[in-house]
Amino acid sequence: MDANRKELKQFIRPHLTEERFQHTVRVTDTAHHLADIFGGDAHKIEVAGMLHDYAKYRPYEEMRRWIEGSVDVPKDLLNYSPVLWHGPVGVKMLEKEWGALDKDVQSAIASHTTGNAIMSIYDKLIFLADYIEPGRDFPGVQEARRLAEVDLDKACLFALDNTIRYLMSKQQTVYPGTFHAYNLLQKKQEEENG
Q: Considering only residues 150 through 169, tell me which ones interact with Fe ion, judged by CB under 5 A.
A: none
Give yes or no for residue 123 binding Fe ion (CB under 5 A). no
Nearer to Fe ion, 51 or 184 (CB): 51
Q: Closer to Fe ion at the Cβ: 53 or 153?
A: 53
Other Cβ atoms less than 10 A from the Cβ of 184: the count is: 18
Which one among 46, 104, 123, 130 touches Fe ion, defined by CB under 5 A? 130
The answer to whether residues 185 and 162 touch, using CB atoms and an 8 Å cutoff, is no
String of contacts with Fe ion for each residue 39-58, x by CB under 5 A: --------------x-----
Stretch that binds Fe ion, among 114-122, 125-133, 140-148, 174-182 (CB under 5 A): 125-133
Residues touching Fe ion: how many (CB under 5 A)?
2
Long-range CB contacts for residues 160-169, cutoff 8 Å, separation at least 24: 160/115, 160/185
User: Of 31 and 184, which has the nearer Cβ to Fe ion?
Assistant: 31
Smallest gap from Cβ 130 to Fe ion, in A, equals 4
Name all contacts of 133-139 with Cβ < 8 Å and 24+ positions apart. 133/23, 133/26, 133/27, 133/29, 133/30, 134/26, 134/30, 135/22, 135/23, 135/26
Q: How far is the CB of 10 from Fe ion (least distance, A)?
A: 19
Task: Estimate the crossing angle of helix 42-51 against helix 5-12, to 10 degrees.
Answer: 10
Which residues here bind Fe ion, judged by CB under 5 A? 53, 130
